[in-house]
Amino acid sequence: NAGVTQTPKFQVLKTGQSMTLQCAQDMNHNSMYWYRQDPGMGLRLIYYSASEGTTDKGEVPNGYNVSRLNKREFSLRLESAAPSQTSVYFCASSDWGRGYEQYFGPGTRLTVT
C-alpha cells in the first residue's frame, strides 16, 4: 500500500515549456487535490476532484489544467510554464465524507527558469 505517489520528484523547466505532474493513489479514495506550497507559506489549493469525472477550481487555478483520468489518477498540467509557478506541488486524496482528512504525496519540486 503505497498511499499517494507523485512523479517526478524534481523538475526544471524553461519558461514556456509544458509538463504534466502525475499523481496516483491506491486507497480507493473518491476525492483528489492538487496544492502548491511556496517558501514559508501554507498550501494553496489549485484544483480538486470531488469524485471521478468531476473537477473544480481551487484558490489559484490560473495557468493549470487537470485531468481525473480514473479513480486512482489525477494529473496536473502546466501548458506554458512561468517563473511564478516555481513551487512544490502536492497531490492529496481523501475518502468520501472525510474530505478534511487528506493524505498527501511526497511532493514535486518544480523550478521554472
Residue 2 C-alpha cell reads as: 503505497
* Shortest CB 14 distance to another protein, Å: 25
* Shortest CB 88 distance to another protein, Å: 9
In the complex with another protein, the residue whose CB is nearer, 14 or 39, is 39
In the complex with another protein, the residue whose CB is nearer, 9 or 77, is 9
* Shortest CB 100 distance to another protein, Å: 4
Residue 111 C-alpha cell reads as: 523550478
In the complex with another protein, the residue whose CB is nearer, 15 or 28, is 28
Report strand pairing: 64-68 vs 87-94: unpaired
The residues that touch another protein, with contacts defined as CB under 8 A, are 4, 31, 40-45, 48, 50, 56, 58-59, 90, 92, 94, 98-107
Residue 99 C-alpha cell reads as: 474530505
Q: Is 74 helix (H, G, I), strand (E, B) or coil?
A: strand
